[in-house]
Protein backbone atom coordinates (compact mmCIF):
# COMPACT_ATOMS: atom_id res chain seq x y z
CA UNK A 1 0.00 0.00 0.00
CA UNK A 2 2.87 2.37 0.83
CA UNK A 3 4.32 2.01 -2.67
CA UNK A 4 0.91 2.50 -4.34
CA UNK A 5 0.29 5.63 -2.28
CA UNK A 6 3.68 7.05 -3.27
CA UNK A 7 2.99 6.20 -6.89
CA UNK A 8 -0.39 7.96 -6.65
CA UNK A 9 1.19 11.12 -5.23
CA UNK A 10 3.85 10.97 -7.91
CA UNK A 11 1.20 10.73 -10.63
CA UNK A 12 -0.81 13.61 -9.13
CA UNK A 13 2.34 15.77 -9.09
CA UNK A 14 3.15 14.81 -12.70
CA UNK A 15 -0.36 15.73 -13.84
CA UNK A 16 -0.18 19.08 -12.05
CA UNK A 17 3.22 19.81 -13.57
CA UNK A 18 2.05 18.84 -17.06
CA UNK A 19 -1.00 21.11 -16.79
CA UNK A 20 1.33 24.03 -16.15
CA UNK A 21 3.73 23.04 -18.92
CA UNK A 22 0.81 22.92 -21.34
CA UNK A 23 -0.93 26.08 -20.15
CA UNK A 24 1.99 28.52 -19.73
CA UNK A 25 2.98 28.55 -23.42
CA UNK A 26 -0.71 29.05 -24.29
CA UNK A 27 -0.73 32.11 -22.02
CA UNK A 28 2.37 33.32 -23.86
CA UNK A 29 0.47 33.06 -27.16
CA UNK A 30 -2.04 35.64 -25.95
CA UNK A 31 0.44 37.65 -23.90
CA UNK A 32 2.65 38.21 -26.94
CA UNK A 33 -0.11 40.32 -28.52
CA UNK A 34 -0.29 42.79 -25.61
CA UNK A 35 1.49 46.12 -25.22
CA UNK A 36 4.19 46.40 -22.56
CA UNK A 37 2.86 47.71 -19.21
CA UNK A 38 -0.73 47.66 -20.42
CA UNK A 39 -3.44 46.36 -18.12
CA UNK A 40 -3.51 43.09 -20.10
CA UNK A 41 0.29 42.78 -19.86
CA UNK A 42 0.18 43.15 -16.08
CA UNK A 43 -2.66 40.61 -15.81
CA UNK A 44 -0.82 38.05 -17.95
CA UNK A 45 2.38 38.55 -15.95
CA UNK A 46 0.49 37.88 -12.73
CA UNK A 47 -1.21 34.77 -14.15
CA UNK A 48 2.10 33.43 -15.49
CA UNK A 49 3.93 34.13 -12.24
CA UNK A 50 1.32 32.37 -10.15
CA UNK A 51 1.14 29.41 -12.50
CA UNK A 52 4.92 28.99 -12.53
CA UNK A 53 5.65 29.77 -8.88
CA UNK A 54 2.68 28.21 -7.12
CA UNK A 55 1.71 25.28 -9.37
CA UNK A 56 4.39 24.26 -11.86
CA UNK A 57 7.55 24.55 -9.74
CA UNK A 58 6.13 22.88 -6.61
CA UNK A 59 4.56 20.15 -8.78
CA UNK A 60 7.90 19.57 -10.52
CA UNK A 61 9.67 19.38 -7.15
CA UNK A 62 7.09 16.89 -5.83
CA UNK A 63 7.36 14.88 -9.04
CA UNK A 64 11.09 14.52 -8.46
CA UNK A 65 10.77 13.86 -4.71
CA UNK A 66 8.17 11.12 -5.11
CA UNK A 67 9.97 9.78 -8.17
CA UNK A 68 13.26 9.46 -6.30
CA UNK A 69 11.54 7.77 -3.35
CA UNK A 70 9.87 5.31 -5.73
CA UNK A 71 13.19 4.72 -7.47
CA UNK A 72 14.89 4.13 -4.12
CA UNK A 73 12.31 1.45 -3.36
CA UNK A 74 12.53 -0.11 -6.84
CA UNK A 75 16.12 0.66 -7.91
CA UNK A 76 16.21 -2.17 -10.46
CA UNK A 77 14.50 0.27 -12.86
CA UNK A 78 17.89 1.95 -13.29
CA UNK A 79 18.99 -1.12 -15.26
CA UNK A 80 16.07 -0.96 -17.70
CA UNK A 81 16.75 0.88 -20.96
CA UNK A 82 13.19 2.15 -21.32
CA UNK A 83 13.41 3.70 -17.86
CA UNK A 84 16.72 5.41 -18.59
CA UNK A 85 15.20 6.87 -21.78
CA UNK A 86 12.17 8.00 -19.74
CA UNK A 87 14.48 9.74 -17.25
CA UNK A 88 16.18 11.53 -20.14
CA UNK A 89 12.81 12.75 -21.39
CA UNK A 90 11.91 13.96 -17.89
CA UNK A 91 15.17 15.92 -17.85
CA UNK A 92 14.11 17.46 -21.18
CA UNK A 93 10.76 18.41 -19.60
CA UNK A 94 12.68 20.03 -16.76
CA UNK A 95 14.84 21.96 -19.22
CA UNK A 96 11.65 23.07 -20.99
CA UNK A 97 10.27 24.24 -17.65
CA UNK A 98 13.41 26.33 -17.09
CA UNK A 99 13.14 27.70 -20.64
CA UNK A 100 9.53 28.76 -20.03
CA UNK A 101 10.69 30.56 -16.90
CA UNK A 102 13.26 32.42 -18.98
CA UNK A 103 10.56 33.38 -21.49
CA UNK A 104 8.46 34.72 -18.61
CA UNK A 105 11.40 36.92 -17.56
CA UNK A 106 11.58 38.23 -21.14
CA UNK A 107 7.89 39.14 -21.04
CA UNK A 108 8.43 40.82 -17.66
CA UNK A 109 11.17 42.96 -19.23
CA UNK A 110 8.83 43.86 -22.07
CA UNK A 111 10.59 41.85 -24.77
CA UNK A 112 8.42 40.64 -27.61
CA UNK A 113 11.16 39.15 -29.80
CA UNK A 114 9.23 36.18 -31.13
CA UNK A 115 6.21 35.80 -33.34
CA UNK A 116 3.07 34.40 -31.75
CA UNK A 117 3.36 31.25 -33.89
CA UNK A 118 6.57 30.37 -32.00
CA UNK A 119 4.60 30.04 -28.75
CA UNK A 120 1.96 27.94 -30.49
CA UNK A 121 4.69 25.56 -31.67
CA UNK A 122 6.48 25.24 -28.33
CA UNK A 123 3.12 24.57 -26.73
CA UNK A 124 3.33 21.11 -28.36
CA UNK A 125 6.72 20.19 -26.85
CA UNK A 126 5.42 18.90 -23.50
CA UNK A 127 2.65 16.98 -25.25
CA UNK A 128 5.09 15.10 -27.47
CA UNK A 129 7.43 14.35 -24.54
CA UNK A 130 4.49 13.22 -22.41
CA UNK A 131 3.30 10.83 -25.13
CA UNK A 132 6.72 9.16 -25.31
CA UNK A 133 7.05 9.01 -21.52
CA UNK A 134 3.63 7.41 -21.06
CA UNK A 135 4.27 4.87 -23.82
CA UNK A 136 7.66 3.97 -22.30
CA UNK A 137 6.17 3.50 -18.82
CA UNK A 138 3.08 1.55 -19.91
CA UNK A 139 4.57 -0.59 -22.71
CA UNK A 140 8.05 -1.05 -21.15
CA UNK A 141 9.67 -1.90 -24.48
CA UNK A 142 12.64 -4.23 -24.37
CA UNK A 143 15.56 -2.46 -26.08
CA UNK A 144 18.17 -5.06 -25.24
CA UNK A 145 19.47 -7.08 -28.20
CA UNK A 146 18.48 -10.73 -28.44
CA UNK A 147 21.55 -12.93 -28.19
CA contacts within 13 A on the Cβ side of 44: 26
Mean pLDDT in the chain? 96
| Residue 122: inside a domain | yes
Is 146 inside a domain boundary?
A: no
Using left for φ > 0, alpha for ψ between -120 and 50, and beta otherwise, residue 16 falls in alpha
- Give me the pLDDT at residue 144, please: 72
Domain span holding position 84: 2-139
- Domain contains 25: yes
- What is the number of structural domains in the chain? 1
- Does residue 17 lie in a domain region? yes
- Measured between alpha carbons, how far is 6 from 27 in angstroms, rounded to an integer? 32
Whether pTM > 0.85 for this model: the answer is yes
| pLDDT tens track for 80-98 | 999 999 999 999 999 999 9
The answer to whether residue 104 sits within a structural domain is yes
Question: How far is it, in rounded angstroms, from Cα 2 to Cα 126?
Answer: 30
Q: Is residue 147 part of a domain?
A: no
Residue 145 lies in a domain: no
Amino acid sequence: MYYDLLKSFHLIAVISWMVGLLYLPRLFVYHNETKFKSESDITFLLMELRLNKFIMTPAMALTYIFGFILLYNQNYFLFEYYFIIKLGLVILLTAFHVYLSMLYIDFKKGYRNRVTFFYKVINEVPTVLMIFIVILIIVKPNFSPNL
